Structure 1
Amino acid sequence: MDEISFTTTRREHDTVMKIIDRAEKAGLVRSSDDRMSISMDLCATHANGCPMDFDRMLAADDFNFAHDYCGIARHLDRRTGKLGGMFRPRFAKAEVRS
């Protein structure tokens, strides 16, 4: 089994932290342990097959923000870092076809 990557740029990481702050203000984060798990979920999603546009997610309206935030938490396979259940975040970057 391949190792899960959590690699993001410093700027992406900073934006992920702002996303978590927003989610916390919206009541979507229950504890400080949640903050770490959520950070790992978002970074794993981004680094393991579903690159995210975190800036667009952060700027989204509440409904679309919650869709991606909760959908990633629900559909991420934490053993592989990949999304399952046919879920595709609204703020996933466009796929590049070769």
Structure 2
Amino acid sequence: MKKEELIDIFQIVERANNMGIMFFDRISLKMDLSVAHQEFNLRLKALLNSDDVNFAHDVVGIQNHIDRENKRMGDEFLPRYSSL
């Protein structure tokens, strides 16, 4: 993962924390977003700069649908800011 992508993920985590939509801790959300980015090639800048509704949809959806044991997304969730 590129340095710029990591910075975007950390900024997304900070925004999610400020909005009160983190299910666990910052490290968990960072790992969840990294897995989702690997699987969906997330448009991280667009997600970071999105309105609150779309931002919450993707961040909460990723947290709800990730298979942490196998480090992959499940349940057929497709983030709005996916590049697929």
Match of 2:72 in 1: 82
More helix by share: 2
Work out the number of aligned pairs and report it.
Answer: 84
Question: Which of residues 52, 66, 74 is equivalent to 1:62?
Answer: 52
The answer on whether the counterparts of 2:35 and 2:71 sit within 8 Å (CA) in structure 1 is yes
Q: TM-score, normalised by structure 2?
A: 0.91
Percent identity over paired residues: 35
Provide, for residues 9-47 of structure 1, a one-character-per-residue CA deviation record: whole Å limited to 9, x for no partner. 1100000011011111111236xx610000000001112
Provide, for residues 29-83 of structure 1, a one-character-per-residue CA deviation record: whole Å limited to 9, x for no partner. 36xx610000000001112x22111101001110000000000000011122221
1:91 matched to 2:81: yes
**Which sections of structure 1, spanning at least 5 residues, go unmatched?**
1-7
- Partner amino acid, structure 2, of 1:59: N
**Which sections of structure 2, spanning at least 5 residues, go unmatched?**
none
What's the RMSD between the two structures over aligned residues?
A: 1.4
